[in-house]
Structure 1
Amino acid sequence: MTHSKPTVDYSLYLVTGRALLPAGKDYYESLEESLQGGVTLVQIREKTAETGEFLEIACRSKEICRKHNVPILINDRIDIALAMGADGVHIGQTDMPIAVARSLLPPSAVIGVTCNTPEHVRQAVEDGADYVGVGPAWTTQTKKNLNAIVGIRGLGMMLRELDGTQVKAVAIGGIKSTNALHCLHGSVSTTGHALDGLAVVSDIVASPEPKLAAEKLAFIVRAFKSGPPSSSSLPDARYTAEWIKEQVASLVPAVRKHGPLVHQITNTVVANQSANATLALGASPIMASAPEEMEDLSRAIGGLLINFGTIQNLDGMLAAGTWANINLKPVVFDPVGVGATRYRQTSADALLNTWQATVIKGNAGELAAIAKSTEVRSRGVDSVGQGFEDPIAFVSQLARKERCVIVLTGVQDYISDGNTVIRCSNGHKLLGDITGSGCMVGTSVATFCAAASLEAAESQTAAVAHDALLVKGDMLVAAVAGVLALTVASEFAAARQDVLGSGTFLPALIDELGALTPEKMVKAANIEVFSLQPAQRKDEM
């Protein structure tokens, strides 16, 4: 008689840890409540218990899991799994080889393995694992001597190894309700391979209300799975030059209607220009960097700009983006001069692994540093050389890799969501003669993203399925609007008779930002649209 493997829903995978239970909370009571809250798979992990105690805990846990029709796995201990009739085991890189475990367990047993590198995943697939636990995504209190933190962006590289296989994947390491959506969204590979679930320990086990904790996490996973997780979907057929111009034009009065509060942690050199540009467009700036303010501010703002031209409070940047994600506010990241120092590079990685950017905006040198590309170098905040040989391919690849809209600024600006690339050919050379023109582009993009998000929320629609940039609204169009607002205004400013050079150009530019109208935007905007079919995409980045 053959036994088929149990059907496993990996969505919310609870790994037990009795040492984390809050005072007065019984382990079995906590497990029962967790299952009531939506846990779909349980792994019993007991690293210090004696064999007899481990077996008793496993047997009683199995009784509770069976009441809820939830499979139960045992961490590492094949003997315990066999003795109590578990549905399978989870083993680490230094534990028993998969082949040996498979030979000892029933054919129906589910076997999972911890993987910390793409090579680990590749080997697990070859060895016949049913699922892999990839990570660690973040630091965690539940394990000592962890491998190096993989980060959210590193998970996507491992998920690519599962293309064309039936092997499932869950993220492990430091996952909780405040970072779960970023983990699910940001880890989708450039080929569209998404996680099957999240493995959680302390956020449920350490909670005095494990049912509520599990319900919150289960809701996040269900919401993500109900949308299109693929980053390789076809481009939106509506994206024509004329349609985009109309949408951009409609956002000009939308900014003034909503008057969004735009939170800016920005370069101290340009704070004044950025604030004035925000006001001219019809929004309100607030400059704050203390981590203690971020939770409260995130509820009031329409959008967030993080520009680390002068990095002074990295903790504030980390907290601001995290809380903006939690409250579904667009986050624009302007990694000014990121290629100049190792500290800037590691800081950018820390930020992008902590929160999900809605838009990343930068010049060729800055975006090359984000992409870890050597095609373009930077000197301070400036790019060096001729730029990218194929900027259309570059921005689309980076957009898919980072799971956001990319804005590449230069003589011509390229904006992409990974499926569509829009080239904007506006602007005046005087922009290069004033300090902070690029930073003001970031301000403008954040302002229009805030307005687009508020407009979509008001109409109760998300304009396009940019599978959860964690905000409502068409952020590709909003980014284009932000770029065009600054570049079109620069053309009108430079044409004024009172502008004699860079000294008179800056105040004129602020004036013209305030004088923008939908008609001016439509008439002046010079854009081209490139819709990329799957065969045109290169994902080697």
Structure 2
Amino acid sequence: MVDIRLYALVDAALGRERLPALARAAAQGGATLIQYRDKTGSTRAMIDCATAIRVGLEGTGVPLLINDRLDVALASSAAGVHLGREDMEAGLARAILGPDAIIGLTVKNEADAAVAGTAPVDYACIGGVFETLSKHNPDAPVGLDGLRSLRQLMRSRAPALPVGAIAGIDLTRTPAAIAAGADGIAVISAIFGSPDPQAAAFSLRAAVDAALAERRP
């Protein structure tokens, strides 16, 4: 099962040349998944950057996923992909990447939740939960109530599927997101907006683990 407790997204806007070191710092601080997101780079630039991030993560045991781009994931030997509603259908992605790849889905509404509940995926991320400045999102935030409702719907269809909360999550909001049903958090600014990404990841991971322990019956 994919460990989604602390999912760190390294975005090209942070500076592609910085991403391998940032990803490694997050992993050393306790991130359990890393995603490379790049909406503007050429295919070659993305492959080079993804490969550098994967190499930078060697020895940490933390998988690298690529946002949207199966071709980049394959060319860089990444562990898998994260897909949005406009990206390739998860079943086709699974057929291309094979049974061992990690595939995740974004869930924004009940229709997405229904798809994720039956798709051949390894995790899902619900959101945006809150407003975020790191990505333009035309959809209104679902809030904690929406997170709770969508999580319950997915649990009824795929009870073992790990589910993260994404967008606007920081240290103060982490306990509430976990209490609402998330198995982990996906973040950018909460780690990489810090002058010490490794320390920020450590604090977030501790908060997630504490909230999960408190939630268990």
**Which bin holds the TM-score, normalised by the shorter protein?**
over 0.9
CA distance in 1, matches of 2:113, 2:72: 26
Q: Is the 8 A contact 1:137 1:151 kept in 2?
A: yes
Q: Is the 8 A contact 1:38 1:215 kept in 2?
A: yes
Residue by residue over 1:413-468, the C-alpha shift from the partner in whole angstroms, topping out at 9 and shown as x without a partner, is: xxxxxxxxxxxxxxxxxxxxxxxxxxxxxxxxxxxxxxxxxxxxxxxxxxxxxxxx
CA distance in 2, matches of 1:20, 1:78: 22
Residue by residue over 1:90-122, the C-alpha shift from the partner in whole angstroms, topping out at 9 and shown as x without a partner, is: 010111111221121121111111111122111
Structure 1 gaps of 5+ residues are: 1-6, 188-193, 231-541
Q: 1:216 aligns with which of 197, 203, 207?
A: 203
Deviation at 1:149, TM superposition (A): 0.8
Q: Is the 8 A contact 2:10 2:19 kept in 1?
A: no
> Match for residue 16 of structure 1?
10
Deviation at 1:39, TM superposition (A): 0.6
Residues 1:27 and 1:111: Cα distance change in structure 2 (over 3 Å): closer
CA distance in 2, matches of 1:163, 1:184: 14
Matches within 5 A, 1:339-378: none
Deviation at 1:33, TM superposition (A): 1.5
Residue by residue over 1:235-255, the C-alpha shift from the partner in whole angstroms, topping out at 9 and shown as x without a partner, is: xxxxxxxxxxxxxxxxxxxxx
> Match for residue 170 of structure 2?
176
Q: Is the 8 A contact 2:21 2:56 kept in 1?
A: no
CA distance in 2, matches of 1:74, 1:30: 16
Q: Is the 8 A contact 1:34 1:204 kept in 2?
A: yes
Residues 1:123 and 1:26: Cα distance change in structure 2 (over 3 Å): closer
CA distance in 1, matches of 2:126, 2:63: 20
The amino acid across from 1:143 in the alignment is K
Residues 1:108 and 1:202: Cα distance change in structure 2 (over 3 Å): same
Deviation at 1:180, TM superposition (A): 1.2
Residue by residue over 1:178-206, the C-alpha shift from the partner in whole angstroms, topping out at 9 and shown as x without a partner, is: 21112212x1xxxxxx3211001111122
Deviation at 1:51, TM superposition (A): 0.9
> Match for residue 129 of structure 1?
121
Larger Rg: 1
TM-score by length of 2: 0.92
Q: Is the 8 A contact 1:15 1:45 kept in 2?
A: yes
Residues 1:13 and 1:182: Cα distance change in structure 2 (over 3 Å): same
> Match for residue 202 of structure 1?
189
Residue by residue over 1:53-99, the C-alpha shift from the partner in whole angstroms, topping out at 9 and shown as x without a partner, is: 11111111111223200111111000011112211110101111112
The question of 1:95 aligning with 2:87 is answered yes
SS, match of residue 122 in structure 1: helix
Q: 2:18 aligns with which of 17, 26, 42?
A: 26
Aligned pair count reads: 214
Structure 2 gaps of 5+ residues are: none
**Which protein, 1 or 2, shows the higher relative CO under an 8 Å CA cutoff with sep ≥ 6?**
2
Identity of aligned residues (%): 35
Matches within 5 A, 1:102-501: 102-163=94-155, 165=158, 166-185=160-179, 187=180, 194-229=181-216
> Match for residue 43 of structure 2?
51
CA distance in 2, matches of 1:37, 1:29: 12
The amino acid across from 2:8 in the alignment is L
Deviation at 1:48, TM superposition (A): 0.7
Deviation at 1:175, TM superposition (A): 0.8
CA distance in 2, matches of 1:109, 1:35: 19
CA distance in 2, matches of 1:101, 1:44: 17
Residue by residue over 1:290-335, the C-alpha shift from the partner in whole angstroms, topping out at 9 and shown as x without a partner, is: xxxxxxxxxxxxxxxxxxxxxxxxxxxxxxxxxxxxxxxxxxxxxx
SS, match of residue 58 in structure 2: helix
CA distance in 1, matches of 2:136, 2:189: 15
Deviation at 1:152, TM superposition (A): 0.8
The amino acid across from 2:28 in the alignment is Q
CA distance in 2, matches of 1:124, 1:79: 22
TM-score by length of 1: 0.38
CA distance in 2, matches of 1:210, 1:28: 12
The question of 1:36 aligning with 2:11 is answered no
CA distance in 2, matches of 1:45, 1:207: 19
CA distance in 2, matches of 1:65, 1:8: 17
